[in-house]
A = this chain, B = another copy of it.
Amino acid sequence: MSTNATPNTSNATEPIRVGLLGAGTVGSQTARLLVEQQQELAKRIGRPIVLSGVACLDPDEVDFPWIDKALLTNDTASVVDGADIVVELIGGTGVARTFVRQALENGSSVVTANKALLAKYGPELYELAEQHHADIYFEAAVGGAIPIVRPLRESLVGDQVESMLGIVNGTTNYILDEMTTKGLDFDDVLKKAQELGYAEADPTGDIEGYDAANKAAIMATLGFHTNLTIDDVSVEGITKITADDIAAATAEGHVVKLLAVVENGEAGVSARVYPALINKDHPLASVHGSFNAVFLKAKYADDLMFYGRGAGGAPTASAVVGDIVTVARHIAAGTTGPSITMYNDLPKAPLSASKAAFAVNFRVHDTPGTLAQVARKFGDHGVSINGVNQDLKPTKTDPGYDGEIQQFRIVTHPTDELTLRETISDVCTLDCVVGEPSVLRVLD
């Protein structure tokens, strides 16, 4: 924190200027909240606040009754230079980075919802902000409307965060929900989700887990006060999950969720995204559709959960405008918020340090001795089996196989992932095994 030297600080009646970069779903709603609540926000800040410019690709195409046409421009740099607070809603790690850097170098503060930018260049930008006595706030980058960034930066600074489990991607949560309630396969649900606009035309970022991985990097950096970027996150998406997996999970009292998991353990910090089986009574199990939630464990506070809308124009804009007001209050007071502290240079935990129970669904030719052969391979690799379920009826047969295929599911005791992967490769050399098995972690 330090004194902000912008000329605007001095005058209590001079409006604080907000420059908006991007006028899409979130940008247009952000403008609406600022304009509709102008009087109210001025009272909360103690200074008037105005929209000073809106940068967009084609000003002729942007038409919202609450945005003064004269504010629209495709000259983004001019909007940056004319603002006390720059709100970056462009997305991506290209020009967004350029303009955020430009704003901070000007000594202007930045509010952004750009998780990809922060997951890749966060530490660089946090330092730049501190150097130029500017704020960088980004509540909307993780969990949409849910206050999670601020609790991590401020509420939990008297504690030690140990782990977080987050459902932080609404598209995948919706898909898994639909697979669960309707018994459908992944591809069919994805297609429907695209038709309904719940999934993008190119859904890769969501379904392969990259979006969640960006959020995991940000959560770990804030929670553990250490420098962690997207490159440190291991990622598995949900594209390999079958209707059979879901049916088996349901039968066992589990639900499948795509989780962002960050942990600070003895072996170091880790940030991972993977689909997992969680008990149907876990608080995260009842987070449905486009809702997000983060379940957090801290040394003293113990369990906490934060729940709300993870996406959508108005909910995301609520978080963005909350940040704008916070930053505006700092400008009015001639100060900045707390720096993002990364004083911990914590080691990254190796993959082998991450032990979990796994549920592996094999499809096999049903010949005598199959289970014994498979079980022996697990034993050879020192992976202990906790349970076997042979009662699962496949809901779909392998296209390459015209006979009857049986399914069985092995749940292991906690083992490290590398050993498990080696075991599975070895099992797959058996003649009786058909195709690739599906693998899900079991979190209980």
Contact = CB atoms under 8 A, between A and B. Distances in A.
Contacts of A151: 147, 150-151
Nearest to A305: B307
A412 to B, nearest CB: 29
Contacts of A322: 154-159
Contacts of A305: 305-308
Contact of A300 (B41, B139, B317): B317
Nearest to A39: B343
A37 B156 CA distance: 13
A257 interface: no
A385 B225 CA distance: 58
A314 interface: yes
Interface in A322-343: 322-326, 329-330, 332-336, 338-339, 341, 343
A44 interface: yes
Q: Taking each of A139, A319, A322, which has the highest tally of chain B beta carbons within 10 Å of its own beta carbon?
A: A322
Interface in A159-199: 159-160
Given A154-B326, A301-B318, A306 B309 contact: no
Which of the four size classes fits the interface of chain A? 35 or more
Interface in A276-303: 281, 283, 286, 291, 298, 300-303
Contacts of A354: none
A372 to B, nearest CB: 42
A146 interface: yes
Contacts of A33: 158-159, 300
A333 B2 contact: yes
Copies of this protein, total? 2
A158 B37 contact: yes
Contacts of A146: 304
A165 to B, nearest CB: 13
A404 to B, nearest CB: 40
A44 B301 contact: no
Contacts of A155: 139, 147, 150, 319, 322
Contacts of A309: 301-304
A319 B301 contact: yes
A315 interface: yes
Interface string A16-60: 000000000000010001000100110110100000000000000
Contacts of A418: none
Contacts of A225: 43-44
Contacts of A29: 300
A440 interface: no
Contacts of A317: 158, 300
A145 interface: yes
Interface string A197-234: 00000000000000000000000000001000000000
Contacts of A334: 3, 335
B333 A41 contact: no
A155 B326 CA distance: 8
Contact of A43 (B312, B323, B333, B343): B343
A158 B321 contact: yes
Contacts of A430: none
A305 B306 CA distance: 6
A330 B332 CA distance: 15
Contacts of A3: 333-334
B319 A308 contact: no
B333 A158 contact: no
Interface of A: 1-3, 29, 33, 37, 40-41, 43-44, 46, 139, 145-147, 150-151, 154-160, 225, 281, 283, 286, 291, 298, 300-309, 312, 314-315, 317-326, 329-330, 332-336, 338-339, 341, 343
22 contacts: A1-B332, A1-B333, A2-B333, A29-B300, A40-B160, A43-B225, A43-B343, A145-B298, A146-B304, A147-B306, A156-B318, A159-B318, A283-B307, A291-B303, A300-B314, A300-B315, A300-B321, A301-B315, A301-B318, A305-B305, A305-B307, A335-B335
